[in-house]
Amino acid sequence: MCIRDSANIIGGLLNRGYLIKKGRAIRASDAAFTLIDTVPAAIADPGTTAVWEQALDMIETGQLALDTFIDKQAAWVTQLIAQYRGTSLSIKIPEGPACPQCGGATRQRSGKSGPFWSCAKYPDCKGTLPIESGKRAAPRKRRGGPKAS
């Protein structure tokens, strides 16, 4: 595991729409939160996080080698993946805005410069929209609800 690997992982997550660039910051997308909700509880367990933080402290003080930690994590995650292989996961991909050309539904797709909205009827319709990072992509519709502010 080196910095370039991390950059590749982050790049992959950006391409898949799990991470969204907002200026110089990166935030998790709705799809990422859905994934976090769905992963085996052990991964999202606060106890697990505490153990990791302890391990990171040990790395900082030189009691534990970073590579050892990464290797252990990799082995554990690989085991979890094997265990959950075949389990289907329904990830809520945020609903796109209306197609600018035909007004139909759009889907999130990945291009060279990252994810964007593309018409669901592609290639019949080539309407696309950029994804506005940091904002919910779906336009807010006022439903005229009873909430008065």
Residues at the interface with Zn ion (CB under 5 A): 99, 101-102, 104, 119, 125, 127
What phi and psi values does residue 147 have, to the nearest 5 degrees?
A: -70, 115
CB of 106 to Zn ion, least distance (A): 7
Whole-number Cα distances in Å, 18 to 26, 34, 51, 92, 113: 10, 10, 25, 11, 15
Q: Which is nearer to Zn ion, 12 or 111 (CB)?
A: 111
> Cβ 107 to Zn ion, closest distance in Å?
11
Counts of helices then strands in the chain (DSSP H, E): 5, 5
Residues 6+ apart with CB under 8 A from 144: none
Q: Which is nearer to Zn ion, 38 or 128 (CB)?
A: 128
Query: Which is nearer to Zn ion, 13 or 125 (by Cβ)?
Result: 125
Nearest distance from C-beta of residue 70 to Zn ion, angstroms: 44
